[in-house]
Amino acid sequence: MIEFDRVTTRGGDGGESSLYNGERRRKDDLVFHALGDVDETSACIGIARAYSADSLTRDELFAAQQVLFKVGAQLATPSSDPLHSPIKPVEQSDIDRLERSQRVLMARVDLGSEFVTPGDTILGAHIDHARTVVRRAERTVVQCIRDRHMFGLALAQNYLNRLSDYLFVLARAADQRLVEAVTD
């Protein structure tokens, strides 16, 4: 088990890091790439959440970050390890919630018919940035599924796919000022 009593452990100085179960792997292992992409996604969503004054949007973004913790836990714990079974995986209900939120937004948003150039508003730009990072996370998770046979991540991959769609619509709502920003 990993001890979390210090921030600096020097355990990674040799180019290795630990999974949740303590298993050591090279820092450039595919699983760590996926974990980093999911973590970066959460950080980008956190920036968008910080810029949002709209409580519903903030709640939805926070809920997405909570599901991303599930994705990370699934990635960080080999399915063959006893620590894996108590981990709550991404569920269909997580995907369903995101799809419901997207449908509500789409009823109010004009998606247009042309390619979008991000940057009409600060909030929209941050959400678009999060969307691009989640797409990268999805690609890396797909690679874990295909190359490492981590088939238990299938719903996590589906969630990431829907999350990028939701963020696209949310960014358009922000650009159209249908959701409020703290500063703009």
Sequence-separated (6 or more) residues with CB below 8 Å from residue 116: 128, 168, 171, 172
Residue pLDDT, tens place only, 85-105: 899 999 999 999 999 999 999
**pLDDT at residue 128, as a whole number:** 97
- Per-residue confidence (pLDDT) for residue 79, from 0 to 100: 86
Sign of CA dihedral 93, 94, 95, 98: positive
CA distance 79 to 39: 20
pLDDT of residue 152: 95
Confidence of residue 8 (pLDDT cuts 50, 70, 90): low
Mean pLDDT estimate for the chain: 90
- What pLDDT does residue 130 have? 98
Model confidence at 183: pLDDT above 70 = no
Domain 27-110+118-175 falls under CATH 1.10.1740.10 = no
Spans of all domains in the chain? 27-110+118-175
Q: What SS3 class is residue 136?
A: helix
Per residue in 110-137, pLDDT (tens digit) is 888 788 888 889 999 999 999 999 999 9
Give the distance, in angstroms, between the CA of residue 169 and the centroid of all CA atoms in the same chain: 16
Instruction: Return d(Cα 73, Cα 139) in angstroms, integer.
Output: 18
> What pTM did the predictor assign?
0.89
Band the pLDDT of 81: cuts 50, 70, 90: confident
